[in-house]
Amino acid sequence: MTQNPLVRDRSRLVRVRVAVGEVTGDELNQLLVLCDQPRRNLQKWAIALDHTFVCVTARLLSDRTLIGFVRATSDESLNATIWDLLVDPLLPEPENVRQRLLDILLRELKREIPGCSVSVFAPVPEQPALRALNFVPDPGGIRGMTYTGSQQLELSDANSSDSAIVTVGQPRSVSEGSLTSMEGFEPPTLRTGI
């Protein structure tokens, strides 16, 4: 007897949906480890999630294990930025989950903020999926840049001989491990208008 092709292995079925407040820093850290990325501070995760405009999760239906995640921040008017596109690389077809996460995220951004510009800083393996969704690397020569430290700024008034030197903070070197969550991401910045 042949098996009905419509009957699927339930352990492989995945639900991808907009998920506000249903993901924890612990779950995200577990997913980061699966993706060969370092864990992040749980307090920072809480703040990041609190300031997230929309997030989308992918979970196994069988046990609700988090296998994919993406989030976007926004000024809720002109711009949105996609962060933390994570998919368990051990899945049989991780690119399908990645594509679905992005489809739903972009649909939600288009619904909530029509016409906004969407950008993402993405490592090389993520770029083909982003290009397939009409993201363009370095449009018009625009490149993403990451602030890595500070410098002394001399502020002066054209009508005054007074000037001030302001130290914003201590410069940080890359070797100190002081990079932000953008660590390991290289330009190009991929952008799309939706």
Is a pLDDT exceeding 70 seen at residue 45?
A: yes
pTM of the model: 0.71
- Please state the rounded mean pLDDT for residues 55-71: 93
Domain topology for 10-171+184-193: Aminopeptidase (3.40.630)
DSSP the chain: -PPPTT---GGG-EEEEE-SS---HHHHHHHHHHTT-----HHHHHHHHHT-SEEEEEEETTT--EEEEEEEEE-SSSEEEEEEEEE-TTSS-HHHHHHHHHHHHHHHHHHHSTT-EEEEE--GGGHHHHHHTT-EESGGG----------EEEEE-TT-S-EEEEE------GGGT---TTTT--SPEEEEE-
Confidence of residue 153 (pLDDT cuts 50, 70, 90): low
Domain boundaries of the chain, sorted by first residue: 10-171+184-193
Q: Over the chain, what is the mean pLDDT?
A: 78
Is a pLDDT exceeding 50 seen at residue 187?
A: no
Q: What are the pLDDT digits (tens) for 81-121?
A: 999 999 999 998 898 999 899 999 999 999 999 999 999 97
